Chain A
């Protein structure tokens, strides 16, 4: 079956406004979702625990940052810290009220990071671009200081680290040492799908248009009645919500415990790279970016040694590690040169071409 727009006429504005206007796109999405759930049953522990769960967690954080930076145009370097707020609030909530379903606490913990994010978004009324980035850097350092210095956040435990107590959903452990990677994966996947769907609703409607308007030209946005501060703060809040949930998932469903330093500035940059490589202002780009930056090095780690075997070469793990960094670095530069608007744009162009294939246009 070919990828074609022909014959799929939109007779109502409603159907014309759907996310996926083409039947092929909808089918494609359904296949991906089914396959993703299928992997829970056929995937190895390594695949689920070390590849897919982190990929989904990073994708969610990237969506969060993309809402703020890609859609609303506000540069932030506080992503790591906002993820931390989610993780620490989730820890406090699930230890204070152990009987409440942990998924509820994961979702609620995002509200705390949303509030903190909106607070640190206040300077955005006055400052833009790099200056705003510096202001969010202040958030990064201040919050990280709190994670280290406020022992109340980790219930005064001596290690100062977050641990993952056993928590179950339908009496299946999903958090804690006994949780299987299958159970964790299904929980993470479901949350990421649901939150992505909500984000896509938001960015396609009035709020998303207002964010883009503020990004493209904030003065003109104000002249058509958009309140700049509210609009930006909402972007900070929603963005930090996503980052917060991603942070909670990261600690409790991926790492199974963590120290404050996973929420450092490197994490913020890591997510920012994903967003830029994937495509600013694109939700699907957030997934592409997370895949390129997180999965690509893992693949290289597997493929490189295998490639060298036929030549009778064997290189040390350390050299492979270095090679990985170099290749991923080169790929990032390559993609940025080929398409500064990110992988999402390449994807878009590819689909456009396919629509009219085999004709050039």
Chain B
């Protein structure tokens, strides 16, 4: 028996509410009746064993997949069949488990393209590259340079990202997401495949983004120590179902989590 939807949700503080979401691919049930919320300004972790449906959850949130059942409410508004570019316009940015950068572009251009939505100069100014077009180009370039400095990657500014090592690509991808100045930042395993030092850097960036800009972050991560350090609250998925939800301490001592996730994975 699943508990009924809580009607007394604190709507003021909730940025995103996932209600009873199910997702099926033919016979595969990627998600089954998952509900949780993300509060403004928090770092929310989603954990679970491989194939638990974590990535699928993010894909539902930013409109890449459409839930077969249930609803997702973002900023108090529900959109059925929201397209990813609409989600982006609404303020949702994300990074991918296997980096999805524009390979032939430089770091600079990859992050710059993240500013596309903020750039307004019309087609004819663009043709002339004059007036508003060039002013805007310079203004956004400054923002992008700030992001590059913040992520400590000025040396790879002009390198085509296809040539960068994996750890740096992940950083550039974070930069591109930050360039969108999102309200909700979805990070799919931002530290996967990194060494300890890179992980620490990445963790620091995430905390700084969260604290300095108040960006709400939802992240998927396998490394439990990282999850415990970073997150305010944790959702645990297993086989597409939510098995626990709470502060890291609560989750860590939950019998089902220990059993299903920590016990198996470690």
Contacts and interface: CB of A to CB of B under 8 A. Distances in A.
A216 B126 contact: no
Interface in A1-36: 12-14, 17
B84 A222 contact: yes
A219 B100 CA distance: 9
A212 B104 contact: yes
Size category of the A interface is 20 to 34
B80 interface: no
A224 B88 contact: yes
A205 B123 CA distance: 10
Given A224-B180, A225-B89, A14 B134 contact: yes
Interface string B70-94: 0000000000000111011100011
Contacts of A162: none
A209 B119 CA distance: 12
B101 A220 contact: yes
Nearest to B96: A220
Nearest to B140: A206
A223 B64 contact: yes
Contacts of B94: 223
Nearest to B88: A225
A204 interface: yes
Interface stretch (B49-57, B109-117, B217-225, B248-256): B109-117
A205 B121 CA distance: 10
B88 A223 contact: yes
Contacts of A219: 64, 84, 100
Nearest to A341: B104
A205 B142 contact: no
A279 to B, nearest CB: 12
Contacts of A60: none
A150 B87 CA distance: 47
Nearest to A12: B138
B204 interface: no
Contact of B119 (A14, A206, A221): A206
B117 A209 contact: no
B127 A17 contact: no
A342 B168 CA distance: 29
Interface string A248-276: 00000000000000000000000000000
B134 A224 contact: no
A105 B109 CA distance: 37
A224 B95 CA distance: 10
Interface in B126-170: 126-129, 133-134, 137-138, 141-142, 145
Contacts of B105: 209, 212-213, 216
A226 interface: yes
Given A14-B134, A206-B126, A209-B113, A224 B93 contact: yes
B113 A210 contact: yes
A202 B126 contact: yes
B82 to A, nearest CB: 12
A284 interface: no
B103 interface: yes
A293 B83 CA distance: 44
A236 to B, nearest CB: 14
B186 to A, nearest CB: 10
B107 interface: no
Contacts of A205: 126, 129, 133, 137
Interface in A305-361: none
B216 interface: no
B141 A13 contact: yes
A228 B85 CA distance: 9
Contacts of A13: 138, 141-142, 145
Given A212-B104, A217-B102, A222 B83 contact: yes
B138 to A, nearest CB: 5
Interface centre among A205, A207, A220, A225 (most CB of B within 10 A): A225
B58 to A, nearest CB: 11
Contact of B85 (A198, A206, A217, A226): A226
Interface in A84-132: none
Nearest to B128: A201
B138 A14 contact: yes
Nearest to B139: A13
Contacts of A213: 102, 105, 113, 116
B129 A224 contact: no
Contacts of B35: none
Nearest to A230: B85
B9 to A, nearest CB: 28
A207 B138 contact: no
Contacts of B87: 223
Given A220-B96, A223-B85, 12 more contacts: A13-B142, A13-B145, A14-B138, A201-B128, A204-B129, A213-B116, A216-B102, A220-B101, A223-B88, A224-B93, A224-B113, A227-B85
Closest A-B pairs by Cβ, 4 of them: A225-B88, A201-B129, A216-B102, A220-B100
16 contacts: A17-B141, A205-B126, A205-B133, A206-B116, A206-B137, A207-B123, A212-B102, A212-B104, A213-B113, A219-B64, A219-B84, A222-B88, A224-B93, A224-B114, A225-B85, A225-B117
